[in-house]
Structure 1
């Protein structure tokens, strides 16, 4: 039992080290890796090379698959280009298995020591996050040593030898076990390294080891499919296409496992670990080169297996909150910002519809606009929940500020939606059902304020998207103009009341409340400018005039 626990602990440490490296690289270099992928998609061969480089850094073809799937889901790249990236990703992870199979045990204490020092002394900086990568690399190397030490005593027992012997009788069982291990470990790299270590200790025969390697390759494709099971169809098409490539490769390669062992040079058979990782590398290189010309055909098959619904998605459903992007914080922040603009589009439709309800006394439209507020509330909750899943520790200073800006923006949009819903209810109760109308002058005032409000909302969306300081200043100036306009129109309305204008007297309460609510909406819109101006240092610490303060001081 002790030896079994030691082996399980070593395997867990290997998986955890791989996780630290993958997440650390994505947090430090995630944005750069995204740009590298996007710039390398001119043709399938450059895309494959980009896949090799990115996967070699993140230590996981699954992570590359999820990143690439997110690009397809956002319409940034085509499906065939994404599948070409994945051909290179498989080669990248195979190259890393070759590297880690060499004797790098002397690097383990160096990486762990340096990584811990960086993580403790500079935890919130890029150096601290790079320290996590070094810790992960050190733990992987240490875990491989522990696996070799633990497997020897454990597999000397008759019971374990009987279990291994049962696996050797069936190649399909070996592939199935290898695939299951890759799914459970969340890394085919960790499984291949584990199999290589076990082969070195003569725990498993070489033919079993090669069967497990084929299964690990198949399992990595299956893992990506399972991870994106709830993602939009465009995202799932990438992982399904990649799985089809892996399945085809395993089906073709499986019958030749025995031939590989018979034809392998004596230098390889004398070093089981080398044979295992070189077989893994050869399988992925040959499969990727042979299948790269089939990316378009497999893309069509994937689109047939995972069709995109023809009916447009409803406004209530988030369009850009891709769960698979959460492992890349910069990409997840970008997705949340795009969804926040989607929420603002719904709010803009509500705001434009208010004037149509006032002019046409349209109760059906009023009901539709009230339902749209439920959409705004739901989008706010979805965006907020999505952002909470992003680790704040993984964000740089600029990304952390953007995280806060998105939260602030969505809160303002949600509150604007609530105000519009209340305004519509007041219009129904105080104008449409009693069959009342605003005076001609009063209606002109409302129209002017409404037009200015819509323009300010669009300017606010532009400020949120681009962060332009000059536009933010212009938006904040609109707050003062709108407040002055609301006061002026309140006074002119009182003048009409003194003149005993009948429509003004009938709608007086609604008119005053409406222009006040429009001013409140404008205040929420102008709040979008504050984070931008604060970041640029363009906000004064207080709006109180120093002369007024001095006048109040006792002498």
Structure 2
């Protein structure tokens, strides 16, 4: 019975530690996520800056995985190369050691202060960022509380024979210790939590210092395994190269450091008698050494990773650009034409989404909802590829007309993506709600929705033609559709209210579903007009700055 209670206490303390780490990560990421992403994008001009950026961001997030996801997204979008991405990961590995350094000091007495301040910020903060930082402060307090709980749980049972036997096996075989540390980190998804746990065991004498260092090496190795395993089930090749490169760096570092622990351990104790601080210092020094050794070797490693993980091209992937020929970048008119062809592919995807929306809204096929939602990702990928392609065109080679065309391209592609987002997030959500609740439109209401979707499809075809021909008359016709849709929305809403009065008092859900759907379809049409007609009308000087009458 005592053993069971001890295991429960130990498990609860470990769970509390993991949850505290999670709260720190999510709190900081919610508070500074977009700003950190922008900062990371601006700090990748050199390897040294990339390492510093990875260190700083991961020190805040306490998650090299989160930093790696940012880097992988930049790399997959073609915004950064593989070598700077690997440099960021070297810095990220060092950044994860900083909170371990902080918690290795005896700051348990400030645990209530962190929790108190965090709760006050979370409950009474008027800004979202204040509440998110309060969440992070609570998480830090929970981490300190969990460490204190671990020490109190281990104290009465540090001489239990079964526990001594388990950790004796770890102490006698360093390879087993590394594998155990890697497995624990893989399961916990947090090297910080595992290193702190090992520090607690080492301070209480349950684990010798050298075995603790071997477990720390395993924690460093295990934190690099999850991204590789997740990338193995799909994802961009560049992201998988970054994850594999990070794993190779850490694995080589572990192989080199493991036989030297007999020399490193006494040196660390002589330098720092406090075992908790000694382990924290070893954790930091190991990652600093790996970064210093591999930073000059990232070029050859990048070439090796490219050969090991070649780009897999799926000819049937609708999100893969087909016309963005890099050889045409030196000739802006041809490059702009290629980007225009790719933008028309986005229009074709949006047309398929409109057809899927009609089937999902008026039919009973639930699969069309998820299939139409997935197409939004295709639009996003094509839009990202077009933007990255246009950025690579030499600005000095662009004429005034070329710059105007490039701006029109960006406006068209961006508005198509936004239109797809509305269909995916709003219209499909309403369709899913209708199917889930078993709601049905009246015959007249369903006919009105079909008419709106058909008119929307026609306007999309017109938008594609206006975009390609830049014809002023066609642009005027498309712009007039904005007023037509506005009138159709008003008439449809009025007819819907009339039918509700005739039918009696319906549920609130049925009342809200129809007008919200019509309003969202009007917003899709607005994006078509803004993306195709307005750039032409504005360039010809026939677009009014405001719909308001003059005084």
Report the TM-score when normalising by structure 2.
0.64
Q: 2:113 aligns with which of 110, 113, 119?
A: 110
C-alpha distance in 1, partners of 2:254/2:344?
Answer: 43
Q: What is residue 408 of structure 1 aligned with on the other side?
A: 422
C-alpha distance in 2, partners of 1:109/1:458?
Answer: 64
Contact 2:419 2:528 in 1 (8 A): no
Q: What is residue 266 of structure 2 aligned with on the other side?
A: 262
Name whichever of 99-108 and 296-305 sits farther off: 296-305
Q: What is residue 454 of structure 1 aligned with on the other side?
A: 464
C-alpha distance in 2, partners of 1:194/1:186?
Answer: 14
| Structure 2 counterparts to residues 332-371 of structure 1, below 5 A | 344-347=346-349
Contact 2:182 2:222 in 1 (8 A): yes
Q: What is residue 366 of structure 1 aligned with on the other side?
A: none
C-alpha distance in 1, partners of 2:349/2:295?
Answer: 46
C-alpha distance in 1, partners of 2:271/2:154?
Answer: 24
Name whichever of 228-237 and 521-530 sits farther off: 521-530
Higher relative contact order at CA 8 Å, sep ≥6: structure 1 or structure 2? Answer: 1
Residues 225-269 of structure 1: per-residue CA shift (max 9 Å, x gap) = 12333322221111111111111111111110111123335352x
Larger radius of gyration: 1
Q: How far apart are 1:224 and its partner, in Å?
A: 2.0
C-alpha distance in 1, partners of 2:194/2:425?
Answer: 45
Q: Give 3-state SS (helix, strand or coil) of 1:264's partner.
A: helix
Q: 2:212 aligns with which of 206, 209, 212?
A: 209
Q: What is residue 282 of structure 1 aligned with on the other side?
A: 285
Q: Give 3-state SS (helix, strand or coil) of 2:151's partner.
A: helix
C-alpha distance in 1, partners of 2:111/2:521?
Answer: 59
C-alpha distance in 1, partners of 2:156/2:477?
Answer: 74
Contact 2:108 2:145 in 1 (8 A): yes
**2:7 corresponds to 1:4:** yes
C-alpha distance in 2, partners of 1:142/1:522?
Answer: 52
| Structure 2 counterparts to residues 12-411 of structure 1, below 5 A | 12-122=15-125, 125-229=128-232, 230-268=234-272, 270-315=273-318, 344-347=346-349, 380-382=372-374, 407-410=421-424
The answer for unaligned runs of 5 or more in structure 1 is 320-340, 352-373, 387-402, 424-445, 460-471, 485-519, 533-537, 544-555
Q: What is residue 526 of structure 1 aligned with on the other side?
A: 525
Contact 1:48 1:87 in 2 (8 A): yes
Contact 2:31 2:128 in 1 (8 A): no
The answer for unaligned runs of 5 or more in structure 2 is 323-342, 354-365, 379-416, 432-449, 470-474, 488-518, 532-544
C-alpha distance in 1, partners of 2:344/2:98?
Answer: 42
C-alpha distance in 1, partners of 2:318/2:453?
Answer: 17
Contact 1:83 1:242 in 2 (8 A): yes
C-alpha distance in 1, partners of 2:116/2:51?
Answer: 35
Q: What is residue 511 of structure 1 aligned with on the other side?
A: none
Q: Measured at CA, do residues 407 and 3 of structure 1 come closer, stay the same or move farther in structure 2, by a change above 3 Å? A: same
C-alpha distance in 1, partners of 2:477/2:276?
Answer: 66
Q: Give 3-state SS (helix, strand or coil) of 2:108's partner.
A: coil
C-alpha distance in 2, partners of 1:267/1:58?
Answer: 30
C-alpha distance in 2, partners of 1:412/1:255?
Answer: 58
- What is the number of residues matched between the two proteins? 407
Q: How far apart are 1:178 and its partner, in Å?
A: 0.3
Report the TM-score when normalising by structure 1.
0.64
C-alpha distance in 2, partners of 1:50/1:286?
Answer: 18
C-alpha distance in 2, partners of 1:118/1:474?
Answer: 54
C-alpha distance in 2, partners of 1:413/1:475?
Answer: 22
Name whichever of 7-16 and 297-306 sits farther off: 297-306
